[in-house]
Amino acid sequence: MTVVLLSSQHMSLPASEPSTLSALTARQAKVALALAQGATITAAAAAAGLNRATIHRWLHAPKFAEAVRQASAAYILALSDESKNRRARALAAVDSLLTDPQSPTDERLRLALAILERPLAPLAGPGHARFGARQPAPRASSHPGKCNEMQQGVTGCNAKTSS
Rounded-to-integer distance, Cα 70 and Cα 65, Å: 9
pTM comes to 0.51
pLDDT greater than 70 at residue 137: no
* Overall average pLDDT of the 40-45 stretch: 96
Per-residue model confidence as pLDDT tens digits over 11-26: 444 443 446 888 899 9
Interior CA angle at 20 toward 51 and 37, to 5°? 55
pLDDT greater than 60 at residue 54: yes
Secondary structure of 54-82 as H, E, C letters: HHHHHHCCHHHHHHHHHHHHHHHHHHHHH
pLDDT greater than 90 at residue 67: yes
pLDDT greater than 50 at residue 162: no
* Overall average pLDDT of the 123-131 stretch: 52
* Overall average pLDDT of the 53-66 stretch: 96
Per-domain residue ranges for the chain?
8-117
Q: Which residue has the higher pLDDT, 163 or 46?
A: 46
Q: Which residue has the higher pLDDT, 83 or 157?
A: 83
Rounded-to-integer distance, Cα 85 and Cα 109, Å: 26
pLDDT at residue number 71: 94
pLDDT at residue number 42: 96
Q: For residues 44 and 77, is the Cβ–Cβ distance under 8 A?
A: no
pLDDT at residue number 33: 94
List all residues 6 or more positions away from 161 whose beta carbon is below 8 Å from its beta carbon.
Answer: 145, 146, 147
What is the pLDDT of the chain when averaged over all its residues? Answer: 75
pLDDT greater than 90 at residue 151: no
